[in-house]
Amino acid sequence: MAGGITTSEHCATPFGAAFQLASPNVKAGGHPVVLESSPLSPHGPIPGHGEIPSFMNTSSTSVRINGAGVIRQGDVASCGDEATGHPKIMVGD
Backbone angles phi, psi at 72, to 5 degrees: -125, 165
Task: Pick the stretch among 3-11, 57-65, 66-74, 75-83 that binds Zn ion (CB under 5 A).
Answer: 75-83
Question: Considering the rule CB under 5 A, would residue 36 count as an interface residue with Zn ion?
Answer: no
Which of 13, 65 has the CB closer to Zn ion?
A: 13
Cβ(84)–Cβ(73) under 8 Å? Answer: yes
* Residue 75 lies near Zn ion (rule: CB under 5 A): no
Distance from C-alpha of 36 to C-alpha of 71, rounded to nearest angstrom:
6
Select from 81, 83, 84, 85 the one that contacts Zn ion (CB under 5 A): 81
**Amino acid (1-letter code) at residue 93:** D
**Footprint on this chain of Zn ion (rule: CB under 5 A):** 79, 81
